Structure 1
């Protein structure tokens, strides 16, 4: 058991975690034993689609009782083993260090942004009044990854978030892209989202990074269906064929590995943000993970050194002291790239060393934006840790 210098607090006591095979019929009982007795303010479950999803809500209610629960299905998990698959990962926030409140958005097709922002302001204000002694706060947003509503939702929530940093991930379905679910309380729902507001005495640091290098190759979306995130034409040519030409590929050979190796991005200010391609349709249209529209100029990027970048960023998060835990939402395309380059073992070793836990997503939420091909998350430090204003 690792303790923190000067605190005497075991890291497992601040953010307990566990993982188990998704096919274990007693998976949640095993996780409950791994997490310990609590009391807990919240339990998060990141669940492989290989699990028995139909029984999951009732099992969670039986095993965890009245403890608030949120979670979602995944495109892979991150556990103490690093990258994992066909598992359920659990994270608990003990009442000794954390207080939470949750907002459910049950129907993303009927978003009411002003009402949602107002409800969020009321909830945040009430939490601050109840727990003025807890100086640190953040919010976690889990969204149906096939809803195609993440951009609209993050924008609506940003209006009521104030200075509270928001991060999160879009639920996954492995590489099938068929059905994704969000778990909120005792319901497993499609077309829904769950927002968790957290106040804590633990200092936190929210982060978002990628390892992509923009090239000089650019293209313009000339025909699109923004509602469904479909691009039909690029540079006035069939979308898949033109994209393939620009990346030097045979259009018939395009795959998720191609999209992971040659991401396209939109420049915003001084930074490029990926607008990841999800899949190619039989008619040659391209479906994107994020919002897309006609007239958008896309830059083709190339992956840099994933291992080096991951090591640098996680090391920076360990200054001046190692976090008790790093909760991370890691895009599925990063994992596919690691598989293609046969560096999964090296990535997993870094994730283990830095106590990263979380899941692989269909997209990441960071502040008011829905982004792709990043690792986004929050590092949680022992109470009393003094964090510098700027990370070296």
Structure 2
């Protein structure tokens, strides 16, 4: 993707010093009609100095972002870097709002937040020309509450997003708005554009036969203590055919569990196995839930089919803004397919980040690629 792309301007930096990062991004955006910059940064950066530097060198733009479990820039997959997207004021109106007090966030707060954003966007021309994106603290365990409330008020506005990561340290994840990084918070962003677009999600999983019933859990911490009345870690290890001591993020990526809703399966990815043989998840779990063992199919053919179908409807993509689960990247690296995946991402103008969970029309999901594909303007 070229830096002279119409309507959208990609930028990135893998400099270590925050000032060098901010200077580089400012240089790449110089002379371009950018009014909003969306960025995704490694959690390895010193975040307070990075915030100060971004505010100093990009003072005239709306800055929105989050920390990641890996970045996607114009070169493909990256780590230890900042990937940024500048949006052309001629083609986008973008408004964003910070959401705090996540445990108390409900319908009333969601409606007030959305109304304020729509008033700043273009209240008379929202239908069919707007989409919403959420960024959320990926360790807050509040995605279901926040996304459910927002889904109740978004109506016909399609929605996607991702949960912030911290390079798989599982310590603190952050979102950025109003000049600083925040924890235990979320951001709702509404985009209004005349460009063609389509919000989508896809995954590469197929169900196997084994069923595991949650017989003891703590839904507030997303922790399962027992599966089929056995210690959870032992039951899971037996079901997927590995020893208990072998359980690690690669095993979690290759042997996910999912809950069935209608004809669809929604992956409940494992965050960690604890010393007491309990398992903590990235998504909501609870007593009585039936989890199905899943088998990953090849990732790239699934992405190719998904992208081809959307491109047939909206044309060659100007950009796809993607939220790609970090466990998918773990799987690609395990199978030595990450270079091929980076090539695909470059060829299809994908920018974004690796997440601790994805958001799609009010649902919190795992091990998916979720995003929005934007087509070229008619007057290019």
Give the TM interval when normalised to the shorter protein. over 0.9
Task: String of CA shifts for 1:34-56, please: whole Å, max 9, x gaps.
Answer: 13333323111100012221212
Runs of 4+ in structure 1 over 6 Å off: none
**Which ranges in structure 2 are unaligned for 5 or more consecutive residues?**
none
- Looking at structure 2, the residues matched to 73 and 22 of structure 1 have their Cα atoms a distance apart, in angstroms, of 16
Corresponding residue for 1:286? Answer: 279
Match of 2:110 among 113, 116, 119: 116
Cα offset for 1:64? Answer: 1.1
- Looking at structure 1, the residues matched to 138 and 113 of structure 2 have their Cα atoms a distance apart, in angstroms, of 23
Corresponding residue for 1:5? Answer: none
**SS, match of residue 311 in structure 1:** helix
Corresponding residue for 1:166? Answer: 159
Corresponding residue for 1:205? Answer: 198
Coordinate RMSD, CA, aligned: 1.8
Match of 1:324 among 315, 318, 328: 318
Corresponding residue for 2:253? Answer: 260
Verify: 1:49 aligned to 2:43, yes or no.
Answer: yes
Answer yes or no: is the 8 Å Cα contact 1:101–1:198 preserved in 2. yes
How many equivalent pairs are there?
A: 377
Any residues of structure 2 matched to 1:220-239 within 5 Å, and which?
220-239=213-232
**Which ranges in structure 1 are unaligned for 5 or more consecutive residues?**
3-9, 386-392
Verify: 1:195 aligned to 2:200, yes or no.
Answer: no
Any residues of structure 2 matched to 1:320-359 within 5 Å, and which?
320=313, 321-359=315-353
Match of 2:75 among 58, 81, 84: 81
Cα offset for 1:254? Answer: 0.3
- Looking at structure 1, the residues matched to 128 and 58 of structure 2 have their Cα atoms a distance apart, in angstroms, of 28
Task: Tell me the TM-score normalized by structure 2.
Answer: 0.95
Match of 1:20 among 13, 17, 25: 13
Corresponding residue for 1:156? Answer: 149
Task: String of CA shifts for 1:107-164, please: whole Å, max 9, x gaps.
Answer: 32332432222331353255333x6399511011000000000111000111111110
Q: Which moved more, 1:305-314 or 1:217-226?
A: 305-314
Task: Tell me the TM-score normalized by structure 1.
Answer: 0.92
